Amino acid sequence: MKKFGLLIVAAVLGSALTIGTFKLIEPGNGKHVKIEHISGSPVVGAAYTVNKNGEIVPLEFTDVAKKVMPAVVHIKSTQVQNVNNYNYRSYPDPFRDFFEDDMLKHFFGPHFRFESPQQPKNRGPQARIGTGSGVIINAEGYIVTNNHVIDNADDIEVTLDDNRVFKAKVIGTDPSTDLALLQIKEKDLPYLPLVNSDDVEVGEWVMAVGNPFNLNSTVTAGIVSAKGRNINILQDRSAIESFIQTDAAINPGNSGGALVNLQGGLIGINTAIASPTGAYAGYGFAVPSNIVSKVVEDLLKYGMVQRGYLGLMIRNVDGNLAKEKDLDVTTGVYVDSIAANSAAGDAGIKVGDVIMEVDETPVKTTAKLLEIIGRHHPGDKVAIKVDRKGKEMDFLVTLRNQDGKEKIYERGTKDVLDILGVELEGLDKETAKKLDVDGGLRITKLFSGKLKRHTDVKVGFIITKVDGKVFKTVDEFVKYLENKKGGVMVEGVYEDYPGTYYYAFGL
């Protein structure tokens, strides 16, 4: 009570001292005009809060803003496109919305031309420019941002808070968390320390710093509205969404910027907004700093993110599911099915189990489970508590990678196909004879990798030669590229379209 009494006194004194009243005489008629001058913000005297130690501390943003702003940068990414050779991403909006990729190939072929009657036929390369934000995380020039800010960029330019401009190199990306690590050639830079995002509490004051609408060094304040949010915005096949939700204003251009606590510690990287208009509508989402830390450490140590997996299909438990499945709990993560070569399945977890804890941390949602497991590497052991028909059971699970192995790839040993972002199959003899080729490898799937980022190759492309050499099996192809450095030229054909196509990329 004594502390709150002091708080009230401080508020009253602050309010009394901030407003002064002056009476002026307007010339000519002697009429008095009352003008109120505010010599200080009324909240200065009243804005106090109680910290975790029970101490009364001022709620002050100015010092934090001064500390944080120099470590938040503006990012401009440029992608050069040849407007005479459209792919499905460059069609006018009505066409892009109407056609799917396979339909476009069916009607027009993989490289059809779309020429607007209002434009000249030969306009040459044109640049698409996107902007966002980034956070300097150490003095050596390493910068964290969102993958979608720099994805497919041919040139990345970083502008510091003091207006110095640098070219940035991509150290690595992780589409599954929408994070990317860049580096600029500069030392002794201001940076933000990462704090333990598990300690962040709902209701805690936070600040968002970034460059919305190209308005550099913009600071907004709010609170943590929720934790562990999954909004299904990431399209990667291994996406991990366990966002910190905040009502601090976040707009386009804030992507990749900092979400910090009142001590200036980085608790998240601003990534997305929920809005019916495309602009701020009260909800912003940030990748927690613990996920950021894991991604950065992996990219620096291994050159890629190495994440452990349970090998389960899961969903949230709620009242309806509990009733449907006759469960004894209404929160947790329900095991729907178990994949082949599953780490959790081999440890004894069964379909119908409800995961309640991981390493003694309560797990109420799939987002939280994915976040916790996603911080571990293949080979790590995690203790999992499940509810099985009302009985609690404990299991020790050794996590595996996506290939079902309990090993970590050393730098440079990641499968070439993962680096390229493709799945391949050998060309059958009948198709080879039809196409009059000696053999080849057909691309059956494309996901995030060098081919998708640096070429416009399509699913269905048949690789007939690599650097002039013929490869008839996937193993031969992989073995050749494992020790390859520098540029690679891929030659091939599409089964239903005439001509030979060439794609180049670097290793």
Active-site amino acid positions: 148, 178, 255
Q: Parallel, antiparallel, or unpaired for β 258-260 and 205-210?
A: antiparallel
Confidence of residue 312 (pLDDT cuts 50, 70, 90): very high
State the average pLDDT over residues 406-425. 76
Position 455 scores a pLDDT of 87
Residue with the bigger pLDDT between 59 and 367: it is 367
pLDDT score of 481 more than 70: yes
Position 58 scores a pLDDT of 63
State the average pLDDT over residues 29-33. 49
State the average pLDDT over residues 22-40. 46
Position 264 scores a pLDDT of 92
- Comparing C-alpha atoms, which of 141, 171, 151, 161 is closest to residue 77? 151
pLDDT score of 74 more than 60: yes
pLDDT score of 453 more than 90: no
pLDDT score of 346 more than 60: yes
What fold does the segment set 312-398 form as a domain?
A: Pdz3 Domain (2.30.42)
- Comparing C-alpha atoms, which of 222, 230, 224 is closest to residue 200? 224
Q: Which residues of 191-201 are buried (b: 16+ CB within 10 A; e: fewer)?
A: bbebbebeebe
State the average pLDDT over residues 232-254. 89
State the average pLDDT over residues 409-438. 80
Position 57 scores a pLDDT of 62
Position 266 scores a pLDDT of 96
Of these ranges, 324-338, 402-416, 486-500, the one predicted with the greatest mean pLDDT is 324-338
Q: Where in the chain is the domain with CATH 2.40.10.120?
A: 61-83+124-305
Q: What homologous superfamily does CATH list for 416-506?
A: PDZ domain (2.30.42.10)
Give the count of alpha carbons within 13 A of 82, CB side only. 8
Q: 260-274, 349-363, 481-495: which range is least confident on average?
A: 481-495
Please determine, looking at this structure, whether the domain spanning 61-83+124-305 carries the CATH number 2.40.10.120. yes
Q: In 389-445, where does DSSP find H-type helix?
A: 416-420, 429-435
Position 448 scores a pLDDT of 66
pLDDT score of 250 more than 80: yes
By the 8 A CB rule, do 144 and 135 touch? Answer: yes
Residue with the bigger pLDDT between 451 and 124: it is 451
Question: Percentage of the chain with pLDDT > 70?
Answer: 79
Position 120 scores a pLDDT of 42
Confidence of residue 279 (pLDDT cuts 50, 70, 90): confident
Give the span between the Cα atoms of 32 and 131, in whole angstroms: 54
Position 283 scores a pLDDT of 87
Confidence of residue 195 (pLDDT cuts 50, 70, 90): very high
Question: pTM for this one?
Answer: 0.70
pLDDT score of 34 more than 70: no
- Comparing C-alpha atoms, which of 148, 141, 137 is closest to residue 174? 148
Position 26 scores a pLDDT of 45
Position 295 scores a pLDDT of 95
Position 52 scores a pLDDT of 67
Mean pLDDT of the chain: 82
Give the span between the Cα atoms of 474 and 417, in whole angstroms: 9
Confidence of residue 69 (pLDDT cuts 50, 70, 90): very high
Position 238 scores a pLDDT of 80
DSSP 69: G
Confidence of residue 268 (pLDDT cuts 50, 70, 90): very high
Q: Where in the chain is the domain with CATH 2.30.42.10?
A: 312-398, 416-506
pLDDT score of 248 more than 70: yes
Position 479 scores a pLDDT of 87
pLDDT score of 27 more than 70: no
DSSP 439: -
Give the span between the Cα atoms of 120 and 110, in whole angstroms: 22
Confidence of residue 475 (pLDDT cuts 50, 70, 90): confident
Position 394 scores a pLDDT of 97
CA 349 vs CA 307, 309, 352, 374, 383: distances in Å: 20, 14, 9, 19, 12
Give the span between the Cα atoms of 365 and 20, in whole angstroms: 54
Position 97 scores a pLDDT of 33
Q: 346: which 2 tokens?
A: 């081999």
State the average pLDDT over residues 287-301. 94
What residues form DSSP beta bridges with 241? Answer: none
pLDDT digits 0-9 by tens, 87-100: 333 333 333 333 33
pLDDT digits 0-9 by tens, 203-224: 999 999 999 988 888 999 999 9
Residues belonging to the chain:
507
Position 344 scores a pLDDT of 96
Position 24 scores a pLDDT of 41
By the 8 A CB rule, do 366 and 333 touch? Answer: yes
CB atoms within 10 A of CB 249: 19
Position 245 scores a pLDDT of 96
pLDDT digits 0-9 by tens, 153-181: 889 999 999 999 999 999 989 999 999 99
pLDDT score of 81 more than 80: no
State the average pLDDT over residues 64-86. 81
Q: 65: which 2 tokens?
A: 């803003």
pLDDT score of 449 more than 90: no
